[in-house]
Amino acid sequence: MNEYKSYTLRNYNEINQLKSLTAGDRNAIEVVGNVLPFKTNNYVVENLIDWGNIPDDPIYTLTFPRKEMLLDNHFKLMEEKIGSTADKENIKTLANQIRMQLNPHPAGQAHNVPSVDGIELNGVQHKYRETALFFPSQGQTCHAYCTFCFRWPQFVGMNEIKFAMKEIELLKRYLIRHREVTDVLFTGGDPMIMKTKILSTYLHALLDDELYNLKTIRIGTKALGYWPYRFTTDNDADELLRTMETVIKSGRNLSIMAHFNHPVELSTPAVEEAIKRIRSTGAQIRTQSPILRHINDSPEIWSQMWRKQVDLNLIPYYMFVVRDTGAQHFFGIPLAEAWNVFRNAYQTVSGICRTVRGPSMSTNPGKVQVLGVSEIRGEKVFVLRFLQGRDPDWVARPFFAKYDEKAIWLDELKPAFNEAKFFFEDELEEIFHERYDFDESENFE
Ligand SMILES: *Cc1c(COP(=O)(O)O)cnc(C)c1O
Ligand code: SF4
């Protein structure tokens, strides 16, 4: 058994390796850590971070607060507040004020609450026809926190924007009423933070014959990167594997959607062992990651990561563009550059690795892939397409936006050829008027 030890603002001074940090780097942890969520653990600290390369090490940057993650003015405000005689409440108020300026719930996330028999399912999101997202209330935290994460409002105690649902029965009822749903995706936070007892209660409930439409259960997790012992030496790891086997035996597909941001996360004996054990249950493992400045913004890193994943029998699935939230000024990469990293990596790996799709933005109307940059009748354009759409009919239709070297997100793009709107905009507006009382359609970030 490997003992899990987490480090937060309260006890990070116990991390021996931090003694080599400069006073400035330590101060940054304190200041930024009061605004963005900060949690890491002994596995990450001892196995993934190269302490000779601080603060630039990618995994250090992934889990430790750095000064540049806050805008200068926000940093100064918080630094002064901490240095003053302000009490905890006072610091918290300022932290919340800053957080509200960091766009805590992008892409209309807070507004997709489905209902069954007039009861709202706060822990369910059903945006794309085939797939319902399920946020089990006990799975809304993680083994460590990623500094870029858009889920961060869930971790910093702003409860009013936290998705949670206790009752799996409601989800079952919903799935019976919505036979179009073939996939349930457990997400969080990290559902693998849950004890096996709780997770398997949820999973077993979904294996009911009545839910014959449910073909695939997916579990999104970062545990392979942050705590592979979840599948090996934790005291309920074996029981977890048996639960996975039960899902497979029911005739369903079980897909672990694993988040890996850097090849170093695939390099330890512990992660290799965890992968083998998961695969031995019959479950598949697909991988995804955003492309992030300071962490994985080069084609070499991506081709190395995809190649290594396939060597370990994982299936590369998505490359995402980082959302306009949190420390986006630090992590964000223009769409044109993201596409260049994608294609330069994609070109160097074999077809087996090219199951990956991207770069993709998870926007209000849907998942939009940047297919590339092209020139049509003298106009330089982005060629885009929906990988997922609020209307399934939008999917796989190429469309065009004016090329913009600096654009980071769909809402900064203008239709090409001087058209007034993108093809989906009118319908998106209709969808919002039907489903919601307010007009959010302008906001197709
Ligand atoms: C990505 C995503 C899904 C799953 O989409 P797939 O293309 O089937 O992987 C489902 N719901 C939401 C809201 C998503 O963002
Ligand atoms: S593990 Fe996932 S949900 Fe948790 S902080 Fe990282 S990106 Fe966010």
Of 363, 293, 364, 282, nearest to 334 by C-alpha is 293
Weakly modelled stretches of the chain, pLDDT under 50: 110, 159-164, 437-445
Terminal alpha carbon distance of the chain: 45
108 ligand 2 Cβ < 6 A: no
Q: Which atom of ligand 1 is nearest to the CA of 317?
A: 9
145 ligand 2 Cβ < 6 A: yes
- Cα three-residue angle 310-323-51, rounded to 5 degrees: 60
3-state helix, strand, coil in the chain (%, to 5): 40, 20, 40
Question: In the chain, which segments carry CATH 3.20.20.70?
Answer: 106-433
Distance CA 41, CA 17 (A): 13
399, HSE (Cβ side, Cα atoms, 13 Å): 20
190 ligand 2 Cβ < 6 A: yes
Q: Which atom of ligand 2 is nearest to the CA of 150?
A: 8
- Cα three-residue angle 415-421-424, rounded to 5 degrees: 105
- pLDDT of res. 137: 85
Give the distance (Å) from ligand 1 centre to CA of residue 128: 7
Q: Which atom of ligand 1 is nearest to the CA of 133?
A: 11
Per-residue 3-state assignment (H helix, E strand, C coil) for 344-357: HHHCCCCHHHCCCE
Tokens of 114: 């489905």
Sign of the Cα pseudo-torsion (67, 139, 120, 214, in order): positive
Do 370 and 359 touch, CB atoms closer than 8 A? yes
Distance CA 56, CA 52 (A): 10
Tokens of 429: 């507006």
Distance CA 84, CA 107 (A): 37
Burial class (CB in 10 A: 0-12, 13-18, 19+), 243: buried
Do 395 and 389 touch, CB atoms closer than 8 A? yes
- The residue whose CA has the least distance to atom 8 of ligand 2 is 149
388 ligand 1 Cβ < 6 A: yes
Distance CA 316, CA 306 (A): 6
362 ligand 1 Cβ < 6 A: yes
pLDDT in tens, 148-195: 987 766 776 554 444 445 578 899 999 999 999 999 999 989 999 999
Distance CA 76, CA 56 (A): 22
Total residue length of the chain: 445
Q: Which atom of ligand 1 is nearest to the CA of 388?
A: 7
Give the distance (Å) from ligand 2 centre to CA of residue 52: 25
- Dihedrals phi, psi of 327, to nearest 5 degrees: -90, 45
Closest ligand, as measured to the CA of 367: 1
- pLDDT of res. 20: 87
Question: How many other C-beta atoms lie within 10 A of the C-beta of residue 430?
Answer: 12
Question: How many other C-beta atoms lie within 10 A of the C-beta of residue 269?
Answer: 10
List of E strands, 57-99: none
Distance CA 285, CA 312 (A): 10
pLDDT in tens, 229-263: 999 999 999 999 999 999 999 999 999 999 999 99
Tokens of 160: 């009013």
The one-letter amino acid code at 359 reads P
Tokens of 117: 């028999």
Crossing angle of helices 88-100/72-83, nearest 10°?
Answer: 170
Of 409, 408, 444, nearest to 425 by C-alpha is 444
Pick the CATH number of 106-433 from 1.10.3430.10, 3.20.20.70, 3.40.630.10, 3.55.40.10: 3.20.20.70
Do 133 and 116 touch, CB atoms closer than 8 A? no
Closest ligand, as measured to the CA of 38: 2
- The residue whose CA has the least distance to atom 1 of ligand 2 is 222
Closest ligand, as measured to the CA of 286: 1
- pLDDT of res. 436: 56
Distance CA 76, CA 280 (A): 51
Token pair 């007009």 in the structure block, residue: 439
Torsion angle of C-alpha atoms 90, 91, 97, 102, degrees rounded to 10: -170
For 279-314, give the DSSP string.
HHTT-EEEEEEEE-TTTS-SHHHHHHHHHHHHHTT-
- pLDDT of res. 438: 46
188 ligand 2 Cβ < 6 A: yes
User: What pairing do the DSSP bridges indicate for beta strands 366-376 and 379-389?
Assistant: antiparallel
pTM: 0.94
Choose which residue among 135, 185, 190 to substitute to test ligand 2 binding: the one with the highest number of ligand atoms within 8 A of its C-beta. Answer: 190
